[in-house]
Structure 1
Amino acid sequence: MRTLCASTLIGEFFVIGFAGLVAMKTDGPSVTLVWTVCGIAMLLSVLLCGMITRPGGVQLGWVLQIGLIASGFVVPVMFILGVVFAALWWASVHYGRKVDETKAAWAAQQAVSPSSEPDAA
């Protein structure tokens, strides 16, 4: 799960940065506010890469997804990109857990009955 979620979060890091560049050119919020919010969101996306497997990591990721969608009020295309990344986040968490469960089951099976094939060294 960690790899899939981290990949999604790194993609979001770049999208948030590019959205900040677009928001900076609008007549909406000030440049300082745009980069403060974008900087916090970008830092959160990077920090979450290491926190995914810890308690609350996935939930904090969902908070970031909601913020990404809400940023569409400043940069309208972010409504679409936010929904796309929320779907990617869901898929990363859902399928990442399935992969983790499959790996754990395989490791447990190997622990019970190790392979009879010799290692090729």
Structure 2
Amino acid sequence: MSAHQPAPTRPKRSAKPQFTQMTLLLEAFVVAFATLVAFGLRVAPPATVWTLGGVTFLILVLLSGYVGRPGGYVAGTLAQLAVLGFGVLVPMMYGVGAVFVAMWFVSLRLGGRIDRERAEWDAAHPEGPTPA
């Protein structure tokens, strides 16, 4: 590459999957801590608490890798119900779950808007970014 050629640019990664992946991963760790709280409060038999918490944690982590694929966003939306369901064991999870539901829908909406605006900009500027 000569000194006059600009460095090749990497393709932009879509914002919507980035935002939703991060939301699901953060939510997975909150579920892990909520599982510890539920265990410490002895709200249910330990096997029940660890099974529900572990399975929910695993599902959230796995779903974070599937967003952007067919059905991934629907599955992520359904996973929000599972997190809200933890409120049965730890009532504070209703509030925490509601925050993550809000984050999920903001991630979907804002990520989609950013992707649309990027596509519009790229269509209006086919030559790419101007060199510095």
Q: TM-score range by the shorter chain?
A: 0.7 to 0.9
| 1:58 maps onto 2:73 in alignment | yes
TM-score (norm 2): 0.81
Tell me the CA shift for residue 72 of structure 1: 0.4
1:99 aligns with 2:130: no
Mapped to 1, the partners of 2:38 and 2:90 lie a distance apart of: 6
Distance 2:100 2:23 in 1: 7
Count of residue correspondences: 117
Give the Cα–Cα distance (whole angstroms) in 1 for the partners of residues 129 and 28 of structure 2: 46
Q: TM-score, normalised by structure 1?
A: 0.88
CA RMSD of aligned residues (A): 1.6
Following the alignment from structure 1 to structure 2, what is the Cα–Cα distance between the partners of residues 106 and 50? 28
Residue 90, structure 1, aligned to residue 108, structure 2: no
Alpha-carbon distance between aligned partners in 2 of 1:4 and 1:43, rounded to the nearest angstrom:
19
1:9 corresponds, among 9, 24, 35, to: 24
**Unaligned ranges ≥5, structure 2:** 1-15
Structure 1 residue aligned with 2:64: 49
Tell which structure's C-alpha radius of gyration is larger. 2
Would you say 1:36 and 2:51 are equivalent positions? yes
**Which structure shows the bigger proportion of residues in helix conformation?**
1
How many angstroms apart in 1 are the aligned matches of 2:129 and 2:106?
A: 36
Instruction: Provide the C-alpha distance between the structure 2 equivalents of 1:39 and 1:107, rounded to a whole number of angstroms.
Output: 43
Q: Which residue of structure 2 aligns with residue 80 of structure 1? A: 95
- Provide closer, same or farther for how the CA distance between residues 32 and 106 of structure 1 changes in structure 2, counting only shifts above 3 A: same
* 1:70 pairs with one of 85, 88, 105: 85
- The amino acid of 2:82's aligned partner reads G
Tell me the distance in 1 between the aligned counterparts of 2:128 and 2:78. Answer: 44
CA contact (8 A) 2:122 2:128 kept: no
Aligned amino acid, residue 63 of structure 2: L
Work out the percentage of aligned pairs sharing the same amino acid.
35
Please list the CA deviations of residues 48-88 of structure 1 after superposition, one character each: whole Å capped at 9, or x if unmatched.
22211011111111111111111101001000000010000
